[in-house]
A and B are shown apart, each in its own frame.
Chain A
Amino acid sequence: MEFCNCIDPQMPADDLLVKYQYISDFFIALAYFSIPLELIYFVKKSAVFPYKWVLVQFGAFIVLCGATHLINLWTFVIHSRTVAIVMTTAKVLTAVVSCATALMLVHIIPDLLSVKTRELFLKNKAAELDREMGLIRTQEETGRHVRMLTHEIRSTLHRHTILKTTLVELGRTLGLEECALWMPTRTGLELQLSYTLRQQNPVGYTVPIHLPVIDQVFSSNKAVTISHNCPVARLRPYAGKYMPGSVVAVRVPLLDLSNFQIYDWPEVSTRNYALMVLMLPSDSARQWHVHELELVEVVADQVAVALSHAAILEESMRARDQLMEQNVALDLARREAETAIRARNDFLAVMNHEMRTPMHAVIALSSLLQETDLTAEQRLMVETILKSSNLLATLINDVLDLSRLEDGSLQLEATTFNLHSLFREVLNLIKPVASVKKLSLTPHLASDLPMYAIGDENRLMQTILNVVGNAVKFSKEGCISITAFVAKPESFRDARIPDFLPVPSDSHFYLRVQVKDSGSGINPQDIPKLFTKFAQNQSLTTRNPAGSGLGLAICRRFVNLMEGHIWIESEGIGKGCTATFIVKLGIADRSNELKLPFVPKVPGNPVHGCTHFAGLKVLVMDDNGVSRTVTKGLLMHLGCDVTTASSSEECLGVVSVEHEVVFMEVCTGLDGYELAVRLHEKFTKHQDRPLMVALTGNTKRVTKENCMRVGMDGLILKPISVDKMRGVLSELLERRVLFETV
């Protein structure tokens, strides 16, 4: 054997096995060297890698392993010591590093594993959130749908549109197969199919209202699932293959105005419901979700309110139309009535004049004729003519009066008059007639009957005359008693005058006059007819053609105008009768005795005027001598210092600042107004100017206006009494102005 340094070793005997080992080692080394390269490449590529140190360690481990295997290649042949040392070093290093790596990996691998679990957890969470997001979105959409639906429903007041829109929108929102509304019929015993979604014109199916299913739905305000076999749910032919969609029904309260009380919401006091049925598409796996049911309930309520609004609106439109029609009719009627009244008034106005003129001519000429020389026969004829025409004139006056009374155009006058003398006059007028018929008249005037009263003297006299005249007319014998007294409030509560409620006051009193006769009496049944115009008592027409039947009617009108009451009582035919009336008259006091003919002198009255008139300088201007003298005497009597003038010029010449008052007549040929203007010009300073008062008998309203226009301070009417002048002067000096009402 020779030691040779040949490089090519001799292959040992199991040469094949070594060869394979040699190759495997080579490849292992290759792999081991390439792995770290790959690792470095990919780690450089990736952005995040937390374990760089481990990588380095791992890389070192791998490299050393690779080195070891590489060096192993040399150990297959005989090798030098260097190789052996290198080999050993490599192995030792490898051992160290791999142990370190192994130890490190124990820490790292659990970490790596937990990253994975976290990743999985996060993925699950994301999925869950996704689902929830989907749900919220669905809900929000539902909410939007409800709002939109409500808006659609409430934007119209037309019933049909409301219901149609509801169904359409619900169908769209919830994706329904069918949606229907059943309304109660007029009788309230059945439900009729009124609206459906898919079918355009639903045939009027009806279903009795008292089915248990329906009662169940009506008794709760929630949407209730019902079976699809129930009669209300059989809305369309069953088209699906497997399973019909789930059906839900909800009640819709039908409210009307009375359900909306102010303080509580529409209560469940309404018994009237409609039924809404909703059907999900068949063969879908859909179920009714809670939020969908809530949507349906809300919509049902909104529909109820919208329907009630529509109903209320319809109602009020109908009422308004009715009112308008009525208005038109009333207007027409009013215009017709006005035309009729105008026509009648025109007629009356013309006839008034036309009828009266010839009457007056006849009466006047007949009375003139009476004054001439006539034969007895002619005189008789003329007297008859006169009597008849007087009657006719009275009749015409009565008729015209009555028509004026009826349309309310008659107004009573209110003057102060002497009540006692009124009765006296009536008696004087009736006495002759009564004594001819041998009837005795007994008047009783109560002691507390006021002397003067305020009222319509003429009409009161007419009334009393009529009543007393009737008593005389219808009595053939006996006596007639007339009593007059002031009615006390207690006597008013009389069963005979049920509706009469007089109000006692300080300025008025009620005069009660009763006329009792012992004549032919009246059948109590005829009494109501007495006051009807033109109605005559049949049994008396033959005896007494002199009545027109109008008298009592007119009396009643007058008495009513005087806020009183008149009535007649009789016990029967032949038993006489009593006519009573009560009228309201004003109480007259001394201060408004302006038209009294008699002024009782009250002793103790200061005759010479009050001291503050003493020496009052007054100027009187009047062109009528008598008038001037009287006024001067009046003022002097009151203590004034009077100067007179009979014309404006004279007045202007005499007037001075010392004169306090100037009385001037304004309506005669003098220009009293001009005088006033000139006096204004003359006395520029207010306190120098005398008070200018018109003292005139002219009672036209324009006089007062003219006086005020020229700046006069007062107006009083002639004739004027001492007391009145006293009052006038006081007031003038105090207030500097006094305009009497004309």
Chain B
Amino acid sequence: MEVDQMQRQYLDYTKPLFLEGFLDGQFLQLQQLQDENNPDFVAEVVSLFFEDSERLLNDLTFSLEQKSIDFKKIDAHVHQLKGSSSSIGAQRVKNCCIAFRNFCEEQNIDACLSCLQQVKQEYCHVKNKLETLIRLEQQIVAAGGSIPTMEFSF
């Protein structure tokens, strides 16, 4: 496949992600930080995010399965997850975390459980998307092209 074809494919794939709110401007910032000195920056951050999030989600699941639930701990975990997701620009995950924290404050177990489900769902979505995105980027780089930057005009 030609480079510009790949680039167009990449753009077609990425643009909806933003429009649908999976990713926000923070992700673009990350992409901006990637340069010759730091060629794998985005990939690094993304994989860190995956690690962190998976760990946190496991911890959350474990905590919520306990007989006596420690809401403070859960709140701390969710806070971490919120921090990570907002650092990377995973908007939907972040929003879920915000709602999750509110329910934590109210100590509403059922709502927390349902929020956890939602967070997991969102995380899965965004993980898939990001993995595909990284793969596309790597393909372009491997083919010798440069990753096209987002130029949105209206």
Contacts and interface: CB of A to CB of B under 8 A. Distances in A.
Contacts of B84: 624-627
A511 to B, nearest CB: 15
Contact of A600 (B38, B82, B86, B151): B151
A597 interface: yes
Contact of A719 (B29, B52, B151, B153): B29
Contacts of A633: 30, 33, 38, 41, 45
Interface in A650-670: 665, 667-669
A420 B80 CA distance: 35
B151 A697 contact: no
Interface string B33-73: 10101100100110011011000000000000000000000
Interface in B1-58: 18, 24-26, 28-30, 32-33, 35, 37-38, 41, 44-45, 48-49, 51-52
Nearest to B29: A721
Nearest to B18: A597
A467 interface: no
Nearest to A637: B33
B45 A668 contact: no
A627 B150 contact: no
B29 A598 contact: no
Nearest to B24: A597
A718 B87 CA distance: 8
Contacts of A665: 83
Nearest to A451: B154
A53 B33 CA distance: 150
Contacts of B151: 600-601
A170 B24 CA distance: 100
A21 interface: no
Nearest to B82: A697
Given A624-B80, A626-B87, A668-B80, A634 B152 contact: no
A261 B121 CA distance: 87
A627 B87 contact: yes
Contact of B52 (A596, A607, A625, A631): A625
Contact of B89 (A623, A637, A719): A719
| Contact residues of B: prevailing secondary structure | helix
A235 B84 CA distance: 110
Contacts of A721: 25, 29
For B51, B83, B84, B89, which residue has the most chain A Cβ atoms within 10 angstroms? B83
A614 B32 CA distance: 18
Nearest to B42: A633
Nearest to B26: A719
A13 interface: no
A451 B52 CA distance: 37
A192 to B, nearest CB: 86
Given A668-B83, A697-B82, A637 B32 contact: yes
A248 B71 CA distance: 106
A607 B35 contact: yes
Contacts of B30: 630, 633
A624 B87 contact: yes
Contacts of A598: 18, 25, 28, 150, 152
Interface in B103-154: 149-154
A206 interface: no
A608 B33 CA distance: 9
A436 to B, nearest CB: 25
Contacts of A608: 35
Contacts of B99: none
B88 interface: yes
Interface residues of A, number: 35
Contacts of A720: 29
A599 B28 contact: yes
Given A420-B154, A598-B152, A633-B38, A722 B32 contact: yes
Contacts of B35: 607-608, 637
A421 B33 CA distance: 27
B82 A668 contact: no
A626 B51 CA distance: 9
Nearest to B154: A420
A716 interface: no
Nearest to A601: B149
A397 interface: no
Contacts of B149: 601
B82 A722 contact: no
A630 B45 contact: yes
A691 interface: no
Contacts of B45: 626, 629-630, 633
A115 to B, nearest CB: 132
Nearest to B46: A626
Interface in A447-461: 451
A630 B28 contact: no
Nearest to A421: B154
Contacts of A668: 76, 79-80, 83
For A599, A607, A668, A718, which residue has the most chain B Cβ atoms within 10 angstroms? A599
A23 B84 CA distance: 175
Nearest to A598: B152
A177 B20 CA distance: 111
Contact of A626 (B18, B24, B48): B48
Nearest to B80: A624
Interface in A606-629: 607-608, 623-627, 629
Interface in A408-436: 418, 420-421, 424
For A421, A597, A599, A667, which residue has the most chain B Cβ atoms within 10 angstroms? A597
B87 A601 contact: no
A364 to B, nearest CB: 11
Contact of A722 (B33, B44, B150): B33
Nearest to B91: A597
B52 A599 contact: no
A299 interface: no
A451 B28 CA distance: 19
Contacts of A630: 30, 33, 45, 87-88
A477 B54 CA distance: 55
A636 interface: yes
B110 to A, nearest CB: 12
B49 A634 contact: no
B25 A597 contact: yes
A718 B149 CA distance: 23
Nearest to B84: A626
A601 B32 contact: yes
A721 B51 CA distance: 24
A313 to B, nearest CB: 68
A600 B80 contact: no
Contacts of A722: 29, 32-33
A572 B73 CA distance: 66
A458 to B, nearest CB: 16
A668 B28 CA distance: 26
Contacts of A623: 80
A166 B29 CA distance: 97
Interface of B: 18, 24-26, 28-30, 32-33, 35, 37-38, 41, 44-45, 48-49, 51-52, 76, 79-80, 82-84, 86-89, 149-154
Given A625-B48, A630-B45, 12 more contacts: A421-B154, A598-B28, A598-B152, A601-B32, A626-B48, A629-B48, A636-B33, A718-B86, A719-B89, A720-B29, A722-B29, A722-B32
30 contacts: A424-B154, A596-B25, A597-B25, A598-B18, A598-B25, A598-B152, A599-B28, A599-B29, A600-B151, A607-B32, A624-B84, A625-B48, A626-B88, A627-B83, A627-B84, A630-B45, A633-B38, A633-B41, A634-B33, A636-B33, A636-B38, A637-B37, A665-B83, A668-B76, A668-B79, A697-B82, A718-B83, A719-B86, A719-B89, A722-B32
Interface of A: 418, 420-421, 424, 451, 596-601, 607-608, 623-627, 629-631, 633-634, 636-637, 665, 667-669, 697, 718-722
4 nearest A-B residue pairs (beta carbon): A420-B154, A626-B84, A627-B87, A719-B26
